């Protein structure tokens, strides 16, 4: 909920964001994709060629890599890809 002193700007759904997470030995690219706000994203995996086409079709803005320490210390600092390796509370 936005406060009266800081009005919230409408989300710009024309902006698309990609943050690379890694590339697998079999050529699949792991990345986060967001529309409007980089903080709200989905995890995706595509082959290299499909990834390049996806980025071109969506005219994405590439985001810098996220610092692992900044996310790791949070209870929310896990990813679906990590679910098989993390014991949750």
Distance CA 14, CA 12 (A): 5
This prediction's pTM: 0.73
Distance CA 32, CA 17 (A): 8
Tell me the H-state helices in the chain: 48-58, 68-72
pLDDT tens, per residue, the chain with 89 residues? 555 566 788 899 999 999 999 999 999 999 999 999 999 999 999 999 999 999 999 999 999 988 765 555 566 666 666 666 666 66
Q: How far, rounded to the nearest angstrom, does the alpha carbon of residue 22 sit from its chain's CA centroid?
A: 12
- Is 29 in contact with 20 (CB distance < 8 Å)? yes
* Residue 81 DSSP label: G
The full set of domain ranges for the chain reads 16-65
């Amino acid at each position: 909920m936005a406060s009266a002193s800081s009005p919230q700007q409408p989300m710009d759904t024309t902006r698309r964001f990609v943050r690379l997470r890694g590339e697998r030995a079999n050529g699949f690219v792991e990345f986060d994709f967001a529309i409007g706000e980089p903080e709200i994203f989905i995890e995706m995996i595509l082959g290299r060629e499909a990834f390049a086409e996806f980025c071109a079709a969506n005219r994405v803005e590439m985001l810098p890599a996220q610092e692992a320490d900044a996310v790791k210390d949070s209870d929310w600092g896990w990813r679906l890809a990590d679910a098989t390796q993390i014991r949750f509370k």
